[in-house]
Amino acid sequence: MFGIVRRRIGFGASHASILDRCLHGIRPALSTSRCYSTAGKEMTVREALNSALDEEMSADPKVFLMGEEVGEYQGAYKISKGLLEKYGPERVLDTPITEAGFTGIGVGAAYYGLRPVIEFMTFNFSMQAIDHIINSAAKSNYMSAGQISVPIVFRGPNGAAAGVGAQHSQCYAAWYASCPGLKVLAPYSSEDSRGLLKAAIRDPDPVVFLENELLYGESFPVSAEVLDSSFSLPIGKAKIEREGKDVTITAFSKMVGYALKAAEILAKEGISAEVINLRSIRPLDKPTINASVRKTNRLVTVEEGFPQHGVGAEICTSVVTESFGYLDAPVERIAGADVPMPYAANLERMAVPQVEDIVQAAKRACYRSVPIAAAA
Amino acid sequence: MVLTRAAKASRSKLLRPLTTSLSSTSSSLRRPFSSTTDDQTVLSIETSIPFTGHKVDPPSRIVETTPKELMGFFCDMALMRRMEIAADSLYKAKLIRGFCHLYDGQEAVAVGMEAAITKKDAIITAYRDHCTFLARGGNLLEVFSELMGRTTGCSKGKGGSMHFYKKEQGFFGGHGIVGAQVPLGCGLAFAQKFNKEGTVTFASYGDGAANQGQLFEALNIAALWDLPAILVCENNHYGMGTAEWRAAKSPSYYKRGDYVPGLKVDGMDVLAVKQACKFAKEYALKNGPLILEMDTYRYHGHSMSDPGSTYRTRDEISGVRQERDPIERVRKLILSHELASEKELKDIEKNVRKEVDDAIAKAKESPMPDPSEMFTNIYVKGYGVEAFGPDKKEMRAVLP
């Protein structure tokens, strides 16, 4: 069974049918994303981020890491494990709990030509420093007509974790992605994490790098190419995780895994879903999304964050403006519930998109009848 | 050197009203304008008032300077004064739009600081930045063009009054958000230390910004990590329309650093400013951050939309102008030391006026930015992505 799984399918899964056949035999616990690279090495997202940081710090002495508990504690989520020991306290800096202060210091260092990586313990705390991210970092190159460039990366976990409540669960993708001057990336797999973080650190502009706490421990296969220290992924390019022809499902971060699971379920019902892993929220890969919709004629956007003014709204607008004639059904949007995140486990489950929600939306887009849920 | 009275190590008591005998001294004792090149004679001049220290021993109030330096102070400050007043007129003529925060009255801080440091040291300030930009090596054309939104401006017309920069001469702006420049300045100091450059950063802020939380956050980190950052509070006693005693429980801004030492300086005395900044640079390189409180005053209101007289009396403003004006102080110094005649100083002021008028005329002729400039410099690397105007079907551009 694993012999079939190991066949190199590469980017874009052109052998979707092989994928289907593989998956029937596999334990449900395995996620579909494990089936497309040459086997051998697997790597957790945590290891991917750690190795990316390590390699970029090694390659460029101007790169340094700053944030709460990144040094002696080895990182609040152990992403920066071992880095203090390897690079010393001048390049791995533990800060006091003062986001506005240390983010401003990071941006100032970037003005001077260093390449800071600023870690927020979660992006919820980035709101305390958002003035520096937007007004001091994002806009400076423009306001100075190119004199002051800001090669900085702001990274950390974004979105919902498990049971952490309203103040620790918000997704900031839409907030940051609306701002010209910023680049916003959201990795899903280990390959994404390595490639996009390396690209972000090497990029001369401010990059907001949205990780996900629940993905840190997940393992994904990585090819030799991904493991190479010069590996990086292009910014602004989405990845077609699974090819399909009936409906396009866009997602980013954790929701990519859910979308892939939904695609499996839909496949059993005869609906072939194309799953796009956005990877880059700003710039958004509108050409790839539109090309896909022009092929499938139906779109479901998936995100974890609040629905109003979210990422899905922007994707919908792009498709309606560029590919209206190709749409055979209204765009469906799956997003987090329009409520502050509740704590109780049953309410929390209702507040975040589940695989069933994506399946239902895809079926609606395909005009398949779906029993309507009772209104609350 | 002709002036025997200005021999090395002589002391002169300053700010006595000029006696008539001085002003009619025969010209045989002086050569016109030789003072502007004399940087050998050392003049030792006492500052108007002594420095006050907080957790630090203040420097001496005897400041060494040269005729060339003093004449330079006069020229620079006169230029700045004239530039700001011209900007006032341009604003009223609606050639400058939006915000315009003028620095006249505070010139001694910009000029004195510059005299104490090099272009390798960094300065960052808030939005009252025209004169600091000039002191850091900017020119009048760049200033007026930027104010009028022309492509010859220092930020190509895309920044405006609050966003002047001259990175290669160590000037990092030009910031509109009150207080944000202080953590940024500590970041510049971090980078200087990281690179082991032996240079310092001066981060200027006002009495209004002195209560900002992020300032204390940054100061804490600067003190913990021994960053060569000097925080300069340009205390002009009013945060927009709010007097310092209404905004700060403790308006002794030089003491607000608590564990960080501070110095209170007469900000209207360019020699005191120079001495304090020189002291601060040496201190910060060895010991980490220091706070300088410059006791200064702005003649204009907070910005051009503020008359500046609803929250302070006209008597107060004219009183400061008479007693403490920084340019007048230097003029009296120059005259009392016979470095130049009154006429020579008036000629300098006339030349300055002309320089400013010429720059304004040239700036008025300069073109506005090309529409394509709207979409440049958003990113250093745009990856060929499209950006849009209000109607994406009408206006789109590819980012290089």
pLDDT in tens, A122-162: 999 999 999 999 999 999 999 999 999 999 999 999 999 99
pLDDT, one tens digit per residue, over B383-395 is 999 999 999 888 8
The per-residue pLDDT for A373 is 60
Model confidence at A39, pLDDT cuts 50, 70, 90, reads low
Q: Is the pLDDT of residue A14 over 70?
A: no
The per-residue pLDDT for B36 is 77
Please confirm whether the linkage preceding B17 is cis (ω < 30° from 0): no
Strands A299-302 and A247-251: parallel
pLDDT, one tens digit per residue, over B19-68 is 333 334 444 444 445 667 888 899 999 999 999 999 999 999 999 999 99
The per-residue pLDDT for A140 is 98
Q: Is the pLDDT of residue A8 over 50?
A: no
Residue of B nearest to A234 (CA): B383
Q: Compute CA B177 distance to the chain's CA centroid, rounded to the nearest angstrom.
A: 18
| B383 to A103: CB separation less than 8 angstroms, yes or no | no
Residue appearing with tokens 């992403």: A79
- Rounded distance, CA B292 to CA A78, Å? 41
Out of A110, A141, A286, the one facing B379 most closely (by C-beta) is A141
Percent pLDDT > 90 in chain B is 88
Q: Is the pLDDT of residue A48 over 90?
A: yes
pLDDT, one tens digit per residue, over B347-359 is 999 999 999 999 9
The per-residue pLDDT for B39 is 87
DSSP state of A162: S
Average pLDDT over residues A185-196: 98
Cβ–Cβ under 8 Å, residues B265 and B292: yes
The per-residue pLDDT for A40 is 75
Q: Which of B203, B192, B189 is nearest to B233 (CA)?
A: B203
Q: Is the pLDDT of residue B130 over 80?
A: yes
Token couple for B378? 């958003």
CA distance B381 to chain A (A): 7
| A96 to B194: CB separation less than 8 angstroms, yes or no | no
pLDDT, one tens digit per residue, over A264-316 is 999 999 999 999 999 999 999 999 999 999 999 999 999 999 999 999 999 99
The per-residue pLDDT for B9 is 40
The per-residue pLDDT for A98 is 98
Cβ–Cβ under 8 Å, residues A299 and A318: no
DSSP state of A133: I
| A142 to B158: CB separation less than 8 angstroms, yes or no | yes
pLDDT, one tens digit per residue, over A81-127 is 999 999 999 999 999 999 999 999 999 999 999 999 999 999 999 99
The per-residue pLDDT for A23 is 44
Residues near B73 by beta carbon (within 8 Å), at least 6 away in sequence: B111, B112, B115, B270, B330
- Which chain A residues have a beta carbon less than 8 Å from that of B387? 180
Cβ density class B215-230: b for 16+ within 10 Å, e for less: bbbbbbbbbebebbbb
Question: Which residues numbered 328-367 in A keep a CB inside 8 Å of some CB on B?
Answer: none
Which positions of A are catalytic? 99, 168
Mean pLDDT, chain B, as a whole number? 92
Measured in degrees and rounded to the nearest 5, phi and psi for residue B106 equal -100, 10
Q: Using only C-alpha atoms, what is the Rg of chain A?
A: 20
Model confidence at A370, pLDDT cuts 50, 70, 90, reads low
The per-residue pLDDT for A368 is 73
Q: Strand order in A207-211's β-sheet? A: A92-94, A63-67, A115-119, A153-157, A207-211, A183-185, A280-282
CB count in 10 Å sphere of residue B168 = 10
The per-residue pLDDT for B395 is 85
- Which chain B residues have a beta carbon less than 8 Å from that of A147? 155, 165-167
Out of B157, B177, B186, the one facing A105 most closely (by C-beta) is B186
Question: Which residues numbered 36-75 in A keep a CB inside 8 Å of some CB on B?
Answer: 64
Which of A337-346, B37-46, B173-182 bottoms out in mean pLDDT, i.e. has the lowest? B37-46
- Rounded distance, CA B151 to CA B171, Å? 20
Mean pLDDT, chain A, as a whole number? 91
The per-residue pLDDT for A369 is 59
Q: Detail the DSSP E strand segments found in B140-254.
A: 201-206, 229-235, 238-239, 242-243
Model confidence at A3, pLDDT cuts 50, 70, 90, reads very low
Strands B396-398 and B386-388: antiparallel
Cβ–Cβ under 8 Å, residues B68 and B37: yes
- List, as one string, the DSSP characters of B29-80: G--TTGGGT--SS-EEEE-SS--EEESSPPPPSEEEE-HHHHHHHHHHHHHH
pLDDT, one tens digit per residue, over B302-321 is 999 999 999 999 999 999 99
Out of B159, B186, B214, the one facing A143 most closely (by C-beta) is B159
pLDDT, one tens digit per residue, over B84-119 is 999 999 999 999 999 999 999 999 999 999 999 999
The per-residue pLDDT for A44 is 98
Percent pLDDT > 90 in chain A is 87
Strands A63-67 and A92-94: parallel
- Which chain A residues have a beta carbon less than 8 Å from that of B172? 108, 111-112, 148
Model confidence at B361, pLDDT cuts 50, 70, 90, reads very high
Look at phi and psi of residue A217 and say left if phi exceeds 0, alpha if psi is from -120 to 50, else beta. alpha
The per-residue pLDDT for B33 is 54
- Which chain B residues have a beta carbon less than 8 Å from that of A105? 183-184, 186-187, 190, 218, 221
What's the ipTM? 0.90
Interface residue of B152, B190, B393 to substitute, partner A, most A CBs within 10 Å = B190
Model confidence at B396, pLDDT cuts 50, 70, 90, reads confident
- Rounded distance, CA B355 to CA B281, Å? 33
Q: Is the pLDDT of residue B367 over 70?
A: yes
